[in-house]
Amino acid sequence: MVLGIILGVVLAGIDGGKDFVIDWVKPWGTIFVNLLKLIAIPLIVASLLKGILDLKDISKFAKIGGRSILMYVGTTIVAITIGLIIVNLVKPGEGISEETIVTMTENYAGDEGVTSKLTTAEEQGASGPLSFIENMVPSNVFEALGDNGNMLQVIFFVIFFGLAMLLVPPEKTTTIKHFFDGLNDVVLKMVDIIMLSAPFAVLALMATVIVSSESWEILEALLYYGLTVIAGLIIMIIFYLVIMWLFTKKNPFWFLKNLAPAQLLAFTTSSSAATLPVTIERVEEHIGVDKEVSSFVLPVGATINMDGTSLYQAVAAVFIAQALMVDLTFMDQLTIIFTALMASIGSAAVPGAGMVMLVIVLQAVGKFTPEQIAIGLTLIFAVDRPLDMLRTTVNVTGDATVSMVVAKSLGKLGDPHPHEVDEYLDNLSHEDDAEERNDE
C-alpha cells in the first residue's frame, strides 16, 4: 500500500506519469477486483446453502435472521446519530466561503461523475415504497445469478431452495448437498489463491487512486468536512470494538489483526461486494464464526448494512445545508436519520453508491431545490473517493462485528481454523512420489 502511494505520488509529478499508471498499472488492480467479484456469487450460493442445510431445525434460521437484522438496524441508527452529533458540533460547512462554492460548482458542473449520480438517484427515487421487497424476488434465477448487483435476489432464492431441501427426505438431497459442500471448499481455496496476488494488486489500486485524485487546493477547502467524516468513522470503529468485546470477550486487537486483510481490501477497492469473499474467509476461518451464521449474516450485511455510508450521508447532508445556509430543524434531522437508514439499506455495495443515495436523503428533507442538490453534490464530489474508501472499511468491519455477536449469542463462535493455500499441495506431491515409486 505504501509503495503504491509512493509510486502514485512520484508518477503524478512526472509528465505522462498519470497515463502510464492508467495504461500499465491500473489493469492489474482491475483484474484482481474482477477475480474477487467472479467468485462472489458461487461463494454466496455454496456457503449459504451449506449453512442452511447444517441447521438442524428451521426455527434457528429465524433466530439468526431476526437477531442480525435487529443489530444491523441498531448499529446503523447509532452510526447516523454519531454523524449528526459530530457534524452539528464541528459545523464544517460554516467555514466554506461563497467563493469556494462558486469555484467548486464551476469545476464540476456537468462533470460526468456528478451527473451520472444525479440520474441514477432520480431513477431509484422514482420507485414505489414496496419496491425494495418487490425487487428481492427474482422472476428468473439465472438472470439474478448473472448480475452481481442482484445479491439480495440470489440470497432470497438460496434461502428458499435450502429451506425446501430441508423438507425433502434427506436421501433424495445427498447429491446436491455433496455438490455444494465441495463447491464451497473449492471457492474458498480460490479466495486463498487470489489473495496471493493481493500485495501487487493493492499497490496497483493505490497508485491508481493517487494519480486520479484531485489537487491539494481542492482537497484543502473540504478538509474540515473530510476530517468530520473521518472522526465519525473512527468513533464507529471504537463502538464496534466495545460491542464486540462486551458480547464475546475477545481481544479487540486480535479481532482487528484477523480482519485486517478484509479491511485493507475494502479500503483499496471501495466495494463491500468485491471484498465479501475475503470477509467470509477471514470471519469463518480466522475468527471462528460458524458457517451457519456467517453464510447468512455476511452477504446480507454486505448488501444492507452500511454504517459507514449512513454516517457519511448524515454528515454530508448537514454539511451541504450549512454551506448553502439552509436551516435544518430537529424534525429535519430526524428525517435524515430515517432516510439515511433506508438509503444505506438501498445503497449498492460498489464504489460511490453512498453518494447516489445521498441525493435521496437530501430530497426527503424537502428543503433543497434541485439546483441546490446538484451544487451540494458537486461541492463534496472531490473528496468522495477517499471517504468512500474509509466508509467501506467501516461497512465491512460492521458486518464482521455483527456476525461475531450473533454467533456468540447462539453458541456458534468457535475456534479459528485457518487454511493455508498450499496445505494440500504437499500431500499431492507425496502422493505423486508414492505413485512414481510404485510404478518403478
Binding site for ligand ASP (CB under 6 A): 270-272, 306, 309, 347, 349-354, 388, 391-392, 395
At closest approach, how far in Å is the CB of 395 from ligand ASP? 4
At closest approach, how far in Å is the CB of 313 from ligand ASP? 8
**Nearer Cβ to ligand ASP, position 248 or 272?**
272
At closest approach, how far in Å is the CB of 275 from ligand ASP? 8
Q: By C-alpha distance, which of 161, 195, 369 is closest to 274?
A: 195
**Nearer Cβ to ligand ASP, position 51 or 398?**
398
Query: Measured between alpha carbons, how far apart are the two ends of the chain, in Å?
Result: 50
**Nearer Cβ to ligand ASP, position 191 or 350?**
350
List C-alpha distances in Å: 41 to 97, 143, 337.
47, 12, 32
Check if the beta carbon of residue 388 is closer than 8 Å to that of residue 270.
yes
At closest approach, how far in Å is the CB of 86 from ligand ASP? 17
**Nearer Cβ to ligand ASP, position 292 or 388?**
388
Interatomic CA distance for residues 55 and 64, integer angstroms? 11
Residue 308 in grid coordinates: 459507514
Check if the beta carbon of residue 353 is closer than 8 Å to that of residue 390.
no
At closest approach, how far in Å is the CB of 381 from ligand ASP? 13
At residue 381, what are phi and psi to the nearest 5 degrees? -60, -40
At closest approach, how far in Å is the CB of 355 from ligand ASP? 6
Degrees to nearest 5, angle at CA 312 with 385 and 148: 60
**Nearer Cβ to ligand ASP, position 117 or 412?**
117
**Nearer Cβ to ligand ASP, position 153 or 272?**
272
**Nearer Cβ to ligand ASP, position 117 or 286?**
117
**Nearer Cβ to ligand ASP, position 248 or 313?**
313
Q: By C-alpha distance, which of 405, 135, 396, 191 is closest to 273?
A: 396
CA 293 from chain centre, in angstroms, equals: 18
At closest approach, how far in Å is the CB of 349 from ligand ASP? 4
Check if the beta carbon of residue 162 is closer than 8 Å to that of residue 284.
no
Q: By C-alpha distance, which of 386, 394, 350, 357 is closest to 37?
A: 350
At closest approach, how far in Å is the CB of 433 from ligand ASP? 46
At closest approach, how far in Å is the CB of 380 from ligand ASP? 12
**Nearer Cβ to ligand ASP, position 248 or 263?**
263
At closest approach, how far in Å is the CB of 218 from ligand ASP? 20
Cβ neighbours of residue 208 under 8 Å, at least 6 residues apart? 8, 21, 22, 25, 26, 29
CA 93 from chain centre, in angstroms, equals: 27
**Nearer Cβ to ligand ASP, position 268 or 309?**
309
Nearest residue relative to ligand ASP (C-beta): 354
